[in-house]
Structure 1
Amino acid sequence: MVGARRSMDWGFPRWRGYGSAREATTVRLCDRHGCDEPGNCPAPKSPNSPERWQFCQKHAAEYNSKWDYFEGLSKEEAAERAANEKRDNDGFAQAGHYGWAGSGDGSRSADEMRALEVFDLSADADFAAVKKAYRERAKKVHPDVKPGDAEAAAEFQKIQVAYEVLVQAEARREWKG
């Protein structure tokens, strides 16, 4: 039997992994002259055109390095376009708390969520509410108010740690801008 090839699947075609075919695959090369790398990063040939260049990662980065979104616009037109886009997109940012995600929407860490639970605050509580809740709780269980009370001291320690976590998180948010 010349030309017969033995199968490796013994009648069960899914024993081999998906995509383990033996046929040659077509690889599109980078459109940059002289480059032999696979071109797997599409880049538009011109604005609003469906035609695309296919670059390797290195040449796609080079192609995009001098890209300017506001090219061809005056300073006033660029500022107006930026303001319009910010205005249009702000609605999405403001409505983020209405999403499906709830308390785990990624805006607060798990440590922050546990700290907010200590103060019985919701996930979207601002820092002013945190300060207010901390002061109210601290006044009730402070060691100067309840001297010698081990339970109150433990509670005070707990709210101190929770408050410190939230203070540091707020400082990070302000620093990021």
Structure 2
Amino acid sequence: MPKARRSNDWGFPRWRGYDESREAATVRLCDRHGCEEKGDCPAPKSPNSPERWYFCQKHAAEYNSKWDYFEGLDKAEKAARAKSEQAENAGYAEAQHYGWGGSGDGSRSADEMRALEVLELDADADFAAVKKAWRVKAKAVHPDVKPGDREAADLFQKYQLAYEVLKAAEERREWKG
């Protein structure tokens, strides 16, 4: 007679993980013919229809690449719909500093982009590059290096302000994340 095995479901704490179970999990497959991937990306079957296709990420991207949101609208209707969309999403634009992405992916504010232009850096520059560029530029036009030069003093202030804007943005990202 075989010895009975004890279940892992007894006691506290449970001896198996909370997401583990013995039941079969229902997985919806991608609706693209021949695809065996998990279909977890819903896509509308037609405009204003509650029915959805469920694709894998690869096929959802392929399906959405040809999607035209303004299809069938004349020029005035397109402009009206675009304006209403922007009005509805204005709160997201105002709260852009709460973005999830890193630098260079649209998460930088207009002030940060102008500051990067002043320091002659690319949009995806990290903070170490910002600090290095600021030091090089500020040393060249520092009032102690060029006393009495009004243009150099103005450039120094410009570089200083750009650095402060980018430093504050970096601190916000570090504090948030």
TM-score normalised to structure 1 length = 0.51
Give the SS at the match of 1:42: strand
Question: Aligned equivalents of 1:92 and 1:40: distance in 2?
Answer: 28
Of 43-52 and 55-64, deviating more is 43-52
1:48 aligns with 2:48: yes
Give the SS at the match of 1:64: helix
Decide which structure has the larger Cα Rg and report it.
Answer: 1
1:17 corresponds in structure 2 to 17
How far did 1:81 drift?
Answer: 1.9
**Aligned-partner residue type, residue 66 of structure 2:** K
Q: What does the per-residue CA deviation read over 1:76-101, in whole Å, with 9 as the maximum and x for residues that have no partner?
A: 32123213333x2475368x48xxxx
1:92 corresponds in structure 2 to 91
How far did 1:43 drift?
Answer: 1.0
How many residue pairs get matched? 125
- Please give the residue correspondences for 1:19-168 in structure 2 after superposition, counting only pairs within 5 Å: 19-86=19-86, 88-89=87-88, 92=91, 96=94, 143=144, 162-166=160-164
Using a 3 Å threshold, how does the CA distance of structure 1 residues 5 and 27 change in structure 2: closer, same or farther?
A: farther
Question: Aligned equivalents of 1:31 and 1:3: distance in 2?
Answer: 46
Q: What does the per-residue CA deviation read over 1:57-83, in whole Å, with 9 as the maximum and x for residues that have no partner?
A: 111111111001100011232123213
Gaps of 5+ in 1: 98-105, 113-141, 148-157, 170-177
Question: Aligned equivalents of 2:159 and 2:75: distance in 1?
Answer: 49
Using a 3 Å threshold, how does the CA distance of structure 1 residues 24 and 51 change in structure 2: closer, same or farther?
A: same
* Contact map agreement 2:8 2:14 (CA 8 A) in 1: no
Using a 3 Å threshold, how does the CA distance of structure 1 residues 67 and 3 change in structure 2: closer, same or farther?
A: farther
Using a 3 Å threshold, how does the CA distance of structure 1 residues 159 and 21 change in structure 2: closer, same or farther?
A: same
How far did 1:162 drift?
Answer: 3.2
Give the SS at the match of 1:48: coil
Using a 3 Å threshold, how does the CA distance of structure 1 residues 166 and 6 change in structure 2: closer, same or farther?
A: same
How far did 1:166 drift?
Answer: 4.5
Question: Aligned equivalents of 2:75 and 2:158: distance in 1?
Answer: 50
Question: Aligned equivalents of 2:89 and 2:41: distance in 1?
Answer: 30
TM-score normalised to structure 2 length = 0.51
